[in-house]
Amino acid sequence: MRNTAFFITGVALIFIQSNLFRILSWIKIPGVVPSLTLPLIVFMGVREYSLVRGAAVAFVLGYLSDLVAGTPVGLYTFVSVLTFILARAAGVRLAAQAVWMQIALGLAFSLLQSGVVLVLLAIFGRDRDAWVPRMVYPLALPRMVTTALVAPLIFYLARRVDAATQPSRSEGGMEA
């Protein structure tokens, strides 16, 4: 139930993100649209959910991001799963309860995401598309900043989804 709820939340966030540029068009800074699914994936990793289920949700959300954004298929799929696994590894050491920590996690993982995307585009891009990484890297800083700023909001939403899908003590079961 919890993974389904996170999946549905992620799909809704992808839909919102894909239309957010229309709302933010008055801001004349390229790349100002945040990654809304990134904080959700980080939340799932930090909260120690099932590795297989969490990676599967991250995989599907990344694949949907690839399809909606028109990026090469597999780019955000790989980056989303990598983000989940790294957030899970860091989750033991980090407590994402404070707003400043949520912003820091959003900024750090957004930096990681941007770096991995640029490296993958540079490595796997065709020779005639060598200009793509040079055109994409100026978009990274505004995206990192806006993602970090919306991270507390997405963490709040994820905590609400998590609380709504917690099994009650009267049921006697635990869901991973």
Q: Is a pLDDT exceeding 70 seen at residue 128? A: no
Average pLDDT, the chain: 84
| CA–CA distance, 58 with 47 (Å, rounded to integer) | 14
Q: What is the mean pLDDT of residues 62-91?
A: 89
Return the percentage of the chain with pLDDT > 70, whole number.
85
Report the alpha-carbon distance of residue 38 to residue 117 in Å, rounded.
Answer: 13
82 Cβ contact partners less than 8 Å away, ≥ 6 residues apart: 116
Q: What is the pLDDT of residue 50?
A: 84
How would residue 142 be classed by pLDDT, with cut points 50, 70 and 90?
confident
pLDDT band (50, 70, 90) for residue 85: very high
Structural domains of the chain ordered from first start: 2-17+34-162 (1.10.1760)
